[in-house]
Every structure is written in C-alpha cells, then in structure tokens.
Amino acid sequence: MKIETLAIKSTQMHDENTGAVSTPIYLSTTFERDSDGTYPSGYVYSRMNNPNRELLEKSLAALENGTDGLAFASGMAATTALLHCFKTGDHILTPDDAYFATNALIEEVFTPWGLEFTKVNMADLAEIKQAIRPNTKMIWVETPSNPLLKLSDIQAIAELSHTVGAICAVDNTWGTPLLQRPLDFGADVVMHSTTKYLSGHSDVLGGALILKENEPLVTKLRSIQKYTGGVPSPFDCWLVARGIRTLSVRVREQTKNAHALAEFLEKHPKIEKVHYPGLPSHSQFDIAKKQMTGGFGGMLSVQVVGDAQNAMNLTGKLQLFTTATSLGGVESLIEHRKSIEGPTSPTPDNLLRVSVGLENIEDLIQDWVEALG
C-alpha cells in the first residue's frame, strides 16, 4: 500500500461495539482482568499500553516502513528515551546545528549523567569519520537541519555507523515520512516530534521512535517507555492519529507553497540568501534529490539584506505569517532564530525561519512583496 492509503487505514480502528467510523477515545487507565489472572483485552494499565496509543504506534511504524513504533509525550521525551539506552562512557556524535532543545538536553542533562558527545558538521562525511572513537555508539542525524537546512547523507552515515558498531538515528521531524524515509536508507531509529507535521495543527505535543526488526533495542525502549512514563495521553494519541489522516495532502501542498516562495524570494533584491533544499542553488541539491524522494518540505529560511533589526522589522510587516516559534501547522509562521537561540548561537543575525502553511500561495507571495516594499 502507498503512504496515502496507509495514513487512512492505519489510523482507523474497527470498533465492534458501535461500528464507529472515527476512532473512539479510550480514557480508561485500567482494564479488566479475568479470574484466571489473564487480561482478555490485552491491556492492563494505560502507562503500559492503551488502544489509542497502540493504534498510533502501529500507524507510525507503517508510515516509516518500520516494524515497531513507540509514542511519547513530546519529541524531547522520545529523544530522552533513546539516550537512556546508553551507559556512562558511551560516546555519541551529534550535529553542530542540532535542534536547540536537543542540544540543551545533551549539555545540561546527559553530559553530567556521564554520556560523552562530540558535535560535528553532519554535512561533512570526513569530519564525521574523524570524530569516531572506539566507544562511539550512536550517530544522531537531523536532516534537513535547523535553521540553515543543511543536509546529511543518511545512507552514507548509516553505513559508516555500522562499520564501527554504532547505530544511526535520524530526527525526521522536518522531512516527514511522506518526503523522506530514513529506515529505507539504512538508519536504525527514526525520531519524530509529532507536535509538528504529523499532528499538523499546532494543538498537541507528541514524540515518537520508529525501528525496523531490531528486537533487542525495541525491548529496551519499551521498558524505558513503560517505567520512565513519558507517555502521551489517549486524547493526545487521538489528535496525532487524526492529523496523520491528512498528512499527505497537507505536506504536499505546504511543500508546493514553500518551493514557490523560495523561488520567488531567491530572485528578490532585498533577500541576500534563501536556504531551501529544493533549489538547485542549494550546495547539497544532489543529496536532497537522492533522499527527499517525496519533495523538499515546507520549511525554508532566508537571510534578509541588512542586519538583525532589518530582519526583525520584516516579521512585523508580514500580515499572513504569524511571528511564533514551532512549525508544521496549517498556518504560516515566521521567526527570528538568533534572538531565540541567544548570543552564542552561530545562526546569522539576519536570518528568518519560515514554516509555510496552507494559505493560497499568491496571497503569501503578495504579503512578501508588500512587506519588502
């Protein structure tokens, strides 16, 4: 089955009691046990599993062409669960431009905990190779990256990981399973912030890990999920599953809009540079074509001619782009990244990150025409 069909079929539960077509929400935290000690429904207690979470996890596994999915209360809870699989003295490579909170988690929580990290330019295979140590256990990839939309060659990095006995995990939040499926390129784990494109409406936090035929790691992660308890509520699971039902139409349209906006802005004299993997001017356009098989996504960033103030002023002039953090919702958002990330951030002063929504593209372009003046 193709992903559009999977997205619908995998999120629909057959409810024998009522025949409900939309999946019911099972709020019960506990489930009946028989006098012989068994649980006829297969469910025991909601932290361990519940019908809405199970449906979502199976759906996520299907979309990413994996065999096992694990849902969490946020993207950060999913990343934390994966990092809990390692022990003191294990070494992990991460991108020098990883998602802001991923980096903070590494520095403020897991480095004091005893894991070792080296930040590398994940777009540079030679630099990655050089940073590998005998105790390297994982390479963490985020592609396209935030906010410069740098790409990492998933296949090459996964192969390299395996030659040194490490696993390769990919944060596929920006790619989405519609556009890019890392497990097909040899990655071992896919991570998602389902807060973004998968749920798609800026109204629920969620995270996920997806694996393919990796029983030992899945078993370990199931224990961590169950006993650390960073799990999503049944209603959260329902909202993410409901978002998945329209993933393909949303992301395809957002990709079309972002591509058109990127092409328009690239030619504008008041824009210094556009970062979008679908532009032939992107220095890694070849990698984009190889692994973003479904399109180049709804995210782009631009460097405005001038300084930080010029860029900030522009966000005030745009009427159709709400100034707010986050991404992947149906509404267009814009954000000055440097002022969020702080003075030590390597992000250029004049950079704005744009999450393109489902508004009409002619309106979106006209908004920029007027704001740029």
Ligand X SMILES: *Cc1c(COP(=O)(O)O)cnc(C)c1O
- Residues noted as catalytic: 47, 99, 171, 196
Q: b vs e for 189-207, b when ≥16 Cβ sit within 10 Å of the residue's Cβ?
A: bbbbbbbbbbbbebebbbb
Q: Which is nearer to ligand X, 171 or 335 (CB)?
A: 171
How many other CB atoms sit within 10 Å of the CB of residue 263? 14
Q: How far is the CB of 177 from ligand X (least distance, A)?
A: 14
DSSP string over 2-52: -HHHHHHHTT----TTT--SSPPP---SB----TTS--TTS--BTTT--HH
CA pair distance 340, 312, nearest whole angstrom: 12
Q: What is the CA radius of gyration of the chain?
A: 21
Is residue 105 within a helix (H) or strand (E), and if so which, with residue range? helix 100-105
Residue 266 · residue 274 · CB < 8 Å? yes
Q: How far is the CB of 195 from ligand X (least distance, A)?
A: 4
Quote the tokens at residue 171.
Answer: 């944060």
Residue 42: CB minimum distance to ligand X, A:
28
Cis, peptide link before residue 147, omega less than 30° from 0: yes
The residue at minimum Cβ distance from ligand X is 75
Compute the least distance from the CB of residue 56 to ligand X, in Å. Answer: 14
Nearer to ligand X, 75 or 295 (CB): 75
Q: Which is nearer to ligand X, 337 or 371 (CB)?
A: 337
Taking the least distance from each CB to ligand X, the nearer of 43 and 99 is 99
> What count of residues does the chain have?
373
State how far the Cα of 345 lies from the Cα of 354, in Å rounded to an integer.
Answer: 18
Nearer to ligand X, 44 or 330 (CB): 330
Give the nearest distance from C-beta 59 to ligand X in angstroms.
17
Nearer to ligand X, 207 or 295 (CB): 207
Q: How far apart are the first and last CA of the chain?
A: 48
Amino acid at 351: L
CB of 146 to ligand X, least distance (A): 6
Burial of 277 by CB count in 10 Å (0-12 exposed, 13-18 middle, 19+ buried)? buried
Q: Give the nearer residue to ligand X in terms of CB position, either 338 or 353.
A: 353
Cα within 13 Å of Cα(300), Cβ side: 30
Binding site for ligand X (CB under 6 A): 74-76, 99, 101-102, 142, 146, 171, 173-174, 193, 195-196, 205, 207
Q: Which is nearer to ligand X, 84 or 132 (CB)?
A: 84
Nearest to 298 by CA among 200, 184, 171, 152: 200
Shortest distance (Å) from residue 172 CB to ligand X: 9
Q: Residue 273 Cβ, how far from ligand X at the closest point, in Å? A: 21
Residue whose entry in the numeric block shows the structure tokens 């694990």: 70
The answer to whether the CB of 243 falls within 8 A of the CB of 199 is yes
Burial zone of 264 (CB within 10 Å; 0-12 exposed, 13-18 middle, 19+ buried): middle
